[in-house]
Amino acid sequence: MRTTTRAWFALSLLLLAGAALLHTVTLLGLRDVWPALVHLTLFGWISSMIVAVNYHTMPVFTGRDFPYAGPLWLQLGAQAVGAPLAAGGLLAALPGLVAAGLALELLAALLFVLNVLLLFARGARRGLPPAPPPVPGQRAVDRLGTRATTAAGLCLPLALALLLGVRLGLVSGAWWLAAEHLAALGWAMLMIVGVAGHVLPRFSGRGTRGAAWARAQLGMHLLGLALIVLGLGFGWGRLFAAGGVTMAAALALFAWTIWPTLRAVAARTQLITPTVKEYQP
């Protein structure tokens, strides 16, 4: 594991501790910390952990190594400063501090996209190629998983741009909640969908229900996400409700699609009949 990847895991755990502390404060009755808690949880801890997992697994699945350490460290620094800064600004009710933190988080999100592109474009190939898919038809599921993670990677900077736009007065405050849904159901959930499609069949030795189910699930997820975000942003309640129903169906379809992978293949036992030869000195 690269040093930068270890640093991302460490950062995510530190942000988790901060979010847990804020949650404890809310349990004591101080409800004003709730916006900071949500932000530090979603854009701090969860986002940093997703980045850490990606940076650990992507070189394995692609058979490539990240070409440059500089952008990785720059992204880590922007995230390490930006997430606590934005949360601190929400706690202190200082819009300028929130905007500065969001700008740094947006920079970190854009650097994440850049680092992934650099991995595929200039990453040096490892000595051995990636392991072949363990089950028939997995390559098609892998491609859909890659589409899901690609969409997730685009949702994060878009969500942060919307949050920053709200703080700068460029868009209405309704887009703040829309951006949080975009981060939770787009960035986080689409990343889970994509990674699950790649990883679970390899861990269990069983395939999903197939590419057709995965394709239908991804399409329904993207449709539900768009309806939810637009419904919240523009204040269209019926559109938001339709998006909620669509998203619920998409998540149920996700569970249905990956369910076979949750049962590991039983190890085959082979009857061995030892041959005993009489020893004669």
The tokens describing 57, both together, are 């697994």
Of 129-133, 153-157, 252-256, give the lowest mean pLDDT range.
129-133
**Is a pLDDT exceeding 70 seen at residue 103?**
yes
**Is a pLDDT exceeding 60 seen at residue 269?**
no
**Is a pLDDT exceeding 50 seen at residue 275?**
no
**Are the C-beta atoms of 175 and 37 separated by less than 8 Å?**
no
Closest residue by Cα to residue 74 from 99, 104, 45:
104
The tokens describing 8, both together, are 């991302």
> Model confidence over 3-41: pLDDT tens digits?
999 999 999 999 999 999 999 998 888 878 999 999 999
How many Cα atoms within 13 Å fall on the side-chain side of residue 103?
9
The tokens describing 208, both together, are 């999903």
Q: Which helix (H) or strand (E) holds 124?
A: strand 124-125
**Is a pLDDT exceeding 70 seen at residue 264?**
no
The tokens describing 89, both together, are 């600004």
Q: Which helix (H) or strand (E) holds 144?
A: helix 138-167
In this prediction, residues 66-89 reach a mean pLDDT of 96
> Model confidence over 177-209: pLDDT tens digits?
999 999 999 999 999 999 999 889 988 889 999
Going from N- to C-terminal start, the domains of the chain cover: 1-131, 139-265
In angstroms, the CA 108 to CA 78 distance is 5
Closest residue by Cα to residue 44 from 93, 109, 95, 92:
109
**Is a pLDDT exceeding 80 seen at residue 272?**
no
Residue 71 vs residue 128, higher pLDDT = 71
pLDDT at residue number 31:
78
> Model confidence over 209-236: pLDDT tens digits?
999 999 999 999 999 999 999 999 999 9
Q: How far is CA 257 from the centre of its chain?
A: 19
**Are the C-beta atoms of 36 and 24 separated by less than 8 Å?**
no
User: Treating both helix axes as pointing N-terminal to C-terminal, what angle do 138-167 and 174-181 enclose, rounded to 10 degrees?
Assistant: 160
In angstroms, the CA 207 to CA 261 distance is 6
DSSP state of 259: G
**Is a pLDDT exceeding 80 seen at residue 121?**
yes
Place of tokens 């920079």: 107
User: How much is the CA Rg of the chain, to the nearest whole Å?
Assistant: 22
> pLDDT grade, residue 1 (50/70/90)?
confident
Place of tokens 């269209």: 236
SS3 63: coil
Strand partners, 150: none
**Are the C-beta atoms of 145 and 198 separated by less than 8 Å?**
yes
> pLDDT grade, residue 129 (50/70/90)?
low
